[in-house]
Amino acid sequence: ARLVGAGVSDRAAALIVSSAFLDAKKAGLITEDQASFVTDKCKISRAKKSVGVKLQNTESIDSVYGLYFDGRKDNTLTQVSEGEKYYRDTVKEEHISLIAEPGCHYFGHVTSPSGSAEDETQAIWQHLQDNSVDVEHLEVVGADGTNTNTGWKGGIIRKLEERIGRPLQWVVCLLHFNELPFRALFEHIDGVSKSPNTFSGDIGKLLPYCEKLPVVKFESFPSCQLPSEVINPTQLSTDQAYLYKISEAVISGQCSSDLASMHPGNMCKSRWLTCANRILRLYISTDKPTKEIKILVKYILTVYSPLWFSIRFNSSIKDGSRHLYAAIQRSRYLPAKLRKVVDSSIQQNAFFALPENILLSMMTDERIEVRKLALDRLL
């Protein structure tokens, strides 16, 4: 299962396993007989199929309390017929992964004929019906905050509610939410993006090459600080770890040579995390940063980066409304014109301001008076 998740091929996996046996033999950890257990790609393939069958049997879902879904377009091999002959071709397909909660149980993926909300809803619903999944106890539905998912009238979540015949609790990805005000502020200051990987403004044009610039003496931001929680670097992706390190560097005014040589992540309009990385990297390489760069850097250090790690390490839905409040509170320092830009994005995506989500946060609050108030509202 880990090999599949990491995208390791059968041949590569066989080489890794065989090499591990040889290294273990040299270290005296295994015997000569055990070292002869050479693994080939066919053995790996059979093992993966066996594990897949076991997972299908043990992870069968009869009833769900929480349904989470996420879609992406994948290159998929298919067969195309021309007369009596068949040819291989690669097409883009919309694949939607389905997760049941509690327990984070993967119970399949579906293919939608298009990326429309109607087609994706029908594909999800049909999968539930085909697998006899009981939705009578379904209470929560989760997804990212794209309009296809969260449209109040034609979004997937709303369409699922219509099929079930009752409202559900909406749990919309907060990491995605955190990116939207930052994107709105960036586009207001520097202009919209020209393509998936490039920007049109003066700042955006410098971002693709920022890691090649030498680090200069730069002004620190001592009034900003990251969350006080202990951050375990092993639980962060490469890009997330870079954000944490570069944020610390800009706050302190000190950048190590190792950090200066690290890659801030590839440019991509759908991944604003790497855009934030590159803005901070550009800042520490700019002798006289413009007012616009300073505005973006301060927003990243005051709002975006601290909130990212707070969400990352406090990811329960009970904390959702608290994260939303933190986003509002942290962004109050902005001047009125820029605050209006950020507030507009927050208001459009404030799904954790829904009453049921606020009540959940209140019921799990550390203060007993807040919990009592929530109970009074429920009763």
Kindly list the domain boundaries of the chain, sorted by start residue: 2-58, 66-172, 176-359
- For the domain with range 66-172, which CATH number is right: 3.40.630.30, 3.30.420.40, 1.10.1050.10, 3.40.50.300? 3.30.420.40
Q: What percent of the chain has pLDDT over 90?
A: 60
Confidence of residue 159 (pLDDT cuts 50, 70, 90): very high
Confidence of residue 6 (pLDDT cuts 50, 70, 90): low
**89-122 pLDDT, tens digit each:** 777 778 899 999 888 888 888 888 888 999 999 9
Confidence of residue 269 (pLDDT cuts 50, 70, 90): confident
Confidence of residue 339 (pLDDT cuts 50, 70, 90): very high
pLDDT at 4: 60
Pick from 35-44, 151-160, 320-329: least confident: 35-44
Contact residues for 61 (Cβ-Cβ < 8 A; gap 6+): 100, 105, 107, 131, 133
pLDDT at 27 over 80: no
| pTM across the whole model | 0.80
Residue 206 to residue 297: CA distance in whole angstroms: 15
pLDDT at 297: 97
Contact, 98 vs 68, CB < 8 A? yes
pLDDT at 80: 73
Contact, 48 vs 3, CB < 8 A? yes
Average pLDDT, integer, range 115-130:
92
**Beta-bridge mates of residue 100:** 67, 105
**Beta-bridge mates of residue 105:** 100
